[in-house]
């Protein structure tokens, strides 16, 4: 087996750096179903979240948004009109790519403007929900009818997979894990401010409400008091507690890697599938050109490549090539 000598990928991390990068950019100008994305589509819609990714571990990248997709394959039942993609010229991919079809072809977004990359931030969260008394003794009896009595995790049912990778028919229940992909301004900046107040944003739940539509959308983010043990007053849900370990176990068992999710949005396969009309992707994931030949994507030299990457991320990034390392 040949050793993997590809240059490494190191995503930019940290809310402070993401906010600064966004300001600078604005000035200058088959198996288990994966996790859902946070999506509050309607004015006034809301949810409750427990962030799993703290401030210093937020991933931020240059990202193209609302990019119209190319026509879908004939057998596609549904095909998105527009997609988000991570710019392949983001510095995290130095040494892997030297092209970005969206940049190079000067594609326009759904609003008719150049689809220039902008800083966007990524994090993981658990979706939760407010629990109100229904009159039952289990929820406080008649006196608590309609009153908020707690917060609980929303639950997803996920297929158990056998050794052959196929569903066994057994449904596994996990806390609902969401991927958050939002800008600093108007979203993560609120969490950054709260991090400055509390020193962390993973020790409590947050109520998030959308206000407005389109480019006038704003988010109201309100912190909720930590869930405490009535007897001791200790916070029951924070890193190191049994409930937190349950969350981490759910992430591990569902094989969810935020790094891999972000990297996939810049992969050869992703760009060939949704944007580049000169290439196509078959059911096995093989990328071919319009003439039917297997595509050879350009790769950059390893010079200046970032320094670290998890083995999990390596295994999930497809067709990055094996650029030659610089001579010592």
pLDDT in tens, 283-315: 888 998 866 565 555 554 444 434 344 444 444
User: What phi, psi does 80 have (nearest 5°)?
Assistant: -70, 145
What is residue 140's predicted lDDT score, i.e. its pLDDT? 78
Report the domain count for the chain.
1
> Would residue 112 count as lying in a domain?
yes
Asked whether the whole model's pTM tops 0.85, one would answer no
Q: Identify whether the C-beta of residue 174 lies closer than 8 Å to the C-beta of residue 32.
A: no
Average model confidence (pLDDT) across the chain: 83
Residue 171 lies in domain: 12-316
Q: Identify whether the C-beta of residue 58 lies closer than 8 Å to the C-beta of residue 15.
A: yes
Give the dihedral of Cα atoms 132, 206, 121, 320; nearest 10 deg.
-50
Q: How far apart are CA 268 and CA 93, in angstroms?
A: 12
Q: Above 80 in pLDDT, residue 41? A: yes
| Beta strands per DSSP E along 269-308 | 279-281, 287-289
CA dihedral sign of residues 84, 90, 93, 95: positive
What is residue 103's predicted lDDT score, i.e. its pLDDT? 97
Spacing of C-alpha 30 from chain mean position: 19
What is residue 312's predicted lDDT score, i.e. its pLDDT? 42
Least confident of 11-20, 60-69, 70-79: 11-20
For 185, residues 6+ apart whose C-beta sits below 8 A from its C-beta are 19, 22
The share of the chain scoring above pLDDT 70, in percent, equals: 80
> 322 pLDDT band (50/70/90 cuts)?
very low
b/e sequence 189-201, b meaning 16+ C-beta within 10 Å:
bbbbebbeeeeeb
CA dihedral sign of residues 224, 225, 230, 234: positive
What is residue 215's predicted lDDT score, i.e. its pLDDT? 73
Q: How far apart are CA 100 and CA 103, in angstroms?
A: 5
> Would residue 1 count as lying in a domain?
no
> Would residue 184 count as lying in a domain?
yes
Q: What angle do CA 247, 32, 203 make, to 5 degrees?
A: 15
Rg of the chain (C-alpha set): 22
Q: Above 50 in pLDDT, residue 30? A: no
What is residue 316's predicted lDDT score, i.e. its pLDDT? 41
Least confident of 101-105, 198-202, 247-251, 301-305: 301-305
Task: Report CA-CA distances (Å) from 193 to 53, 221, 225.
Answer: 15, 11, 16
What is residue 126's predicted lDDT score, i.e. its pLDDT? 98
Reported as a single tens digit per residue, the pLDDT across 259-288 is 999 999 999 999 999 999 999 888 888 998
> Would residue 5 count as lying in a domain?
no
> Would residue 195 count as lying in a domain?
yes
b/e sequence 217-241, b meaning 16+ C-beta within 10 Å:
eebebebeeebeeeeeeebebbeeb
Q: Who wins on pLDDT, 32 or 165?
A: 165
What average pLDDT does the segment 138-150 reach?
A: 79
> Would residue 146 count as lying in a domain?
yes
The closest of 71, 181, 63, 67 to 113, measured between CA atoms, is: 67
> Would residue 323 count as lying in a domain?
no
Least confident of 47-51, 64-68, 132-136, 190-194: 132-136
Collapsing DSSP states into helix, strand and coil, what is residue 235?
Answer: strand
> Would residue 325 count as lying in a domain?
no
Q: Above 70 in pLDDT, residue 74? A: yes
């Amino acid at each position: 087996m040949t050793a993997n000598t590809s240059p490494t990928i190191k995503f930019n991390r940290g809310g402070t750096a993401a906010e600064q990068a966004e300001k600078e950019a604005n000035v200058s100008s088959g198996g288990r179903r994966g996790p859902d994305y946070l999506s509050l589509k309607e004015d006034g819609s809301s949810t409750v979240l427990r962030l799993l990714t703290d401030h210093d571990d937020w991933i931020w990248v240059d990202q193209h948004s609302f990019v119209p997709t190319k026509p879908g394959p004939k057998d596609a039942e549904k095909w998105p009109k527009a997609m988000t993609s991570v710019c392949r010229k983001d510095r995290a991919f130095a040494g892997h790519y030297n092209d970005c079809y969206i940049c190079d072809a000067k594609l326009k977004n759904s609003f008719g403007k150049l689809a220039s990359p902008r800083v966007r931030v990524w994090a993981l969260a658990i979706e939760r929900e407010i629990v109100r008394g229904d009159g039952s003794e289990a929820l406080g009896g008649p006196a608590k009818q309609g009153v908020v009595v707690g917060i609980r995790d929303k639950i997803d049912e996920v297929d158990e997979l056998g050794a052959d990778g196929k569903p066994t028919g057994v449904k596994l229940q996990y806390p609902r894990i969401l991927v958050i992909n939002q800008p600093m301004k108007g979203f993560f900046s609120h969490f950054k401010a709260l991090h400055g107040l509390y020193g962390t944003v993973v020790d409590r739940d947050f109520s998030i409400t959308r206000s407005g539509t389109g480019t006038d959308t704003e988010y109201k983010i309100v912190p909720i008091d930590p869930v405490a043990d009535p007897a001791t007053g200790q916070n029951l849900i924070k890193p190191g507690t049994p409930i937190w370990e349950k969350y981490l176990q759910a992430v591990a068992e569902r094989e969810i890697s935020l790094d891999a999710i972000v990297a996939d949005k810049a992969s050869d396969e992703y760009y060939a599938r949704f944007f580049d009309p000169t290439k196509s992707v078959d059911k096995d994931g093989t990328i071919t050109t319009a003439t039917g030949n297997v595509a050879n994507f350009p790769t950059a030299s390893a010079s200046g490549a970032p320094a670290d990457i998890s083995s999990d991320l390596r295994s999930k990034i497809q067709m990055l090539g094996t650029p030659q390392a610089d001579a010592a």
